[in-house]
Structure 1
Amino acid sequence: MAKKLVIKVTAGTDARERCSQAFTVAAVAAASGVEVSLWLTGESAWFALPGRAAEFELEHSAPLSDLLDSILAGGRVTLCTQCAARRDITEKDVVEGVRIAGAQVFVQESLADDTQALVY
């Protein structure tokens, strides 16, 4: 089993099931003691803003805000630099604990030893 799991989620409210799956896998991995790095890209970028995860609903799924809180408590959440810029999101706008970083950091994390990367 990988010691670190990097998950890139590209979906938001446009593909609710895929979005929820990514957050669920990240939260379960973090709760299991795996080092987790969740990347918010594309439409999932909006969940870096306060209150946005609480607005997300999907029947038979854990609340996205709870999943995000557990990931932040046990892992790292990163908002894509370009995705943030396209949405006029800055570091002062995001939920506490969310960082903004670019593709170079994603590649470094994904290629690190004992790392598994997933894209949703």
Structure 2
Amino acid sequence: MAKKLVIKVTAGPEAAERCSQAFTVAAVGVASGVEVSLWLTGESSWFALPGRAAEFELPHAAPLPDLLDSLLAGGRVTLCTQCAARRDITEKDVLEGVRIAGAQVFVQEAMADDAQSLVY
């Protein structure tokens, strides 16, 4: 069994179920004691900003702010460098605990011997 779970989420409100599933799986991983790294890319990039997760709604799903809080507390949340640049998001804009990093770091995490990777 993998000891580290690397999840890349590309979807935002336009694909709410896929987005919610990524955050839910990541949060369950953290709650289960797995080392989790969640990567925000594409439209999910906006969730790195304060208040954006609170705008997300999906019936019968765990609230995105709660999931994100658990990930920030017990895992790692990374915003894609290029995705941030395309949206004019800088390190001073993001939630405390969110880092901005690029493809090289993602590949290192995803290719680690003890890692399992998922893309949503």
**Fold similarity call, TM over 0.5:** yes
1:11 corresponds in structure 2 to 11
Counterpart Cα distance in 2 of 1:68 and 1:87:
20
Give TM-score scaled by structure 2 length: 0.99
Q: Normalized against structure 1, the TM-score is what?
A: 0.99
Aligned residues: 120
Q: Secondary structure at the match of 1:72?
A: helix
Cα RMSD after superposing both structures: 0.4
Match of 2:117 in 1: 117
Match of 1:41 in 2: 41
Which residue is equivalent to 1:74? 74
Report the Cα distance in structure 2 between the residues aligned to 1:85 and 1:114, rounded to whole angstroms: 31
> How far off its partner does 1:113 sit?
1.2
Tell me how far 1:72 sits from its aligned partner: 0.8
For 2:103, give the aligned amino acid: A
What are the Cα deviations for residues 69-96 of structure 1, in whole angstroms up to 9, with x where unaligned? 0011110000000000000000000000
Structure-1 separation of matches of 2:24 and 2:91: 25
Distance 1:72 1:25 in 2: 14
> In the alignment, residue 100 of structure 2 is paired with which amino acid?
I
> How much has 1:50 moved relative to structure 2?
0.2
Point out where structure 1 has 5 or more consecutive residues left out of the alignment.
Answer: none
Question: CA–CA distance in 1 between the matches of 2:12 and 2:18?
Answer: 8
Identity of aligned residues (%): 88
Q: Are 2:119 and 1:107 equivalent residues in the alignment?
A: no
Q: CA deviation at 1:14?
A: 1.0
2:52 maps to which residue?
52
Q: Which amino acid aligns with 1:4?
A: K
Residue 84 of structure 2 is matched in structure 1 by 84
